[in-house]
Amino acid sequence: MKNALPIIIALCALTACGGGNKKPMETPKDKLVHQLFTYAQEGKIAYGHQDDLSYGHAWKVEDWENDNLERSDVKAVTGKYPMVVGFDLGDIEHGSEKNLDRVPFGLMRKAVAKHIERGGIVTFSWHPDNPLTGGDAWDISSDQVVKSVLPGGENERLFRSWLERAADFVESLGDVAVIFRPWHENLGSWFWWGKKLCTAQEYIDLYRLTWVYFTKERGLTNIIWCYSPNGDTTPEEYMSRYPGDEYVDMVGFDTYGHPGEEARVRFMENVKRNLTFLTAIAYEHEKLLCFAETGLEGLVEPNWWTETLVPSVKGFPVSYLLTWRNACDIPTHFYAPWEGFENTEDFIEFSKLDNIVFLD
Ligand code: BMA
């Protein structure tokens, strides 16, 4: 074994021992980060739609195990899938078979695999129930809920089991990268983790606890962590509950349009104002930027896509934007056109714009 050292050095140079000119292997997360940064750099925005493959305005996948999951309201209208598809983990915390909008988690797992295989991008939100009261995510009857799940709190163990179930699901997706934006819209006070329901430090601890559990305890390192408060805020307020650079890969916000000219102007001003300071934050902190949730319920303005949405985001390095779901059981609750909807032209025009990315 006298001359073993030079051989080991030579082998190290050939493999990934850290020596030589070899670059470390690119992970699925690296690739997705790169893809999203490239969109932003090239002035492109990927289009996303919540629950796009699970159901639409007038249909839903019934027998997911035998369904090839090719249906999509967006595809029916434009001929293309949205580049980004959003899913929600709500009710995974109870080990339920279906999520809060009755999407089976089995279907979700299959749709995620299929969409990524097609070249698409996946994002997860999570509306978990209230661990203190047993109510839903919107139960704001107590301001002790976040405190109760933090270390030393009465629901610490229960909450850990909730994180465990959410992490089990993400782990079951395999070696793929996904965007995850837990504890969203936290500068409003309509979820139990909202502004008036916990202190800034409690919120930050909640986000960090989630990150540490997924990343360090479970080794789930292919997640792009997105922080997405509701919009209509200020940079100071936005950063007052920012979990910290180590815990966040992407900054974003949620803001919806409302009918009427006044609301339209307010939406555009609000989105531009948010994107102006978020662009500065994204550059300063070297983070990706997205418009995590938006839309105009029922698409009651004919040219909303090209006359309201596009001018609002124009010129900002937004990697993707996502419009909310087309509920199959609430006729007016839709945010993308569907086959047979009277006004599809503007969305078709939107889908053909050079800087808006759909999935062919
Ligand atoms: C809301 C609505 C609800 C839904 C929830 C979670 O904005 O769409 O109907 O249950 O999101 O997806």
pLDDT at 25: 85
Confidence of residue 1 (pLDDT cuts 50, 70, 90): very low
Atom number, ligand 1, closest to the C-alpha of residue 90: 6
Residue of 127, 185, 297, 333 to mutate, ligand 1, most atoms within 8 A of C-beta: 127
pLDDT over 80 (residue 13):
no
DSSP per-residue codes, 111-163: HHHHHHHTT-EEEEE-----TTTS--TT--S-S-HHHHHSTTSTTHHHHHHHH
pLDDT over 80 (residue 5):
no
Residue of 52, 100, 191 to mutate, ligand 1, most atoms within 8 A of C-beta: 100
Tokens of 1: 């074994």
Among protein residues, the one with the nearest Cα to ligand 1's atom 7 is 324
Give the number of C-alpha atoms closer than 13 A to the C-alpha of residue 283, restricted to the C-beta side: 8
CA distance 71 to 54: 8
Task: Please write the tens of the pLDDT for every residue from 169-222.
Answer: 999 999 999 999 999 999 999 999 999 999 999 999 999 999 999 999 999 999
Give the number of C-alpha atoms closer than 13 A to the C-alpha of residue 301, restricted to the C-beta side: 19
> Based on C-alpha coordinates, what's the Rg of the chain?
21
CATH of the domain at 306: 3.20.20.80
Number of domains within the chain: 1
Task: Please write the tens of the pLDDT for every residue from 120-147.
Answer: 999 999 999 999 999 999 999 999 999 9
pLDDT at 24: 78
Q: How open is the CA angle 356-36-241, to the nearest 5 degrees?
A: 110
Q: Percentage of the chain surpassing pLDDT 70?
A: 94
Question: What is the average pLDDT score of the chain?
Answer: 94
Relative orientation angle of helices 156-172 and 105-117, to the nearest 10 degrees: 40
Query: Who lines ligand 1 at CB under 6 A?
Result: 88, 100-101, 127, 324-325
**Range(s) of the domain holding residue 74:** 2-359
Q: Output the CA 284–ligand 1 centroid distance in Å.
A: 33
Task: Please write the tens of the pLDDT for every residue from 15-63.
Answer: 333 445 666 789 999 999 999 999 999 999 999 999 999 999 999 999 9
Among protein residues, the one with the nearest Cα to ligand 1's atom 8 is 325
Distances from the Cα of 98 to the Cαs of 23, 65, 101, in angstroms? Answer: 42, 14, 8
User: At residue 230, what are phi and psi to the nearest 5 degrees?
Assistant: -70, 155
What type of residue is 91? D
Give 19 or 316, the one with higher predicted confidence.
Answer: 316
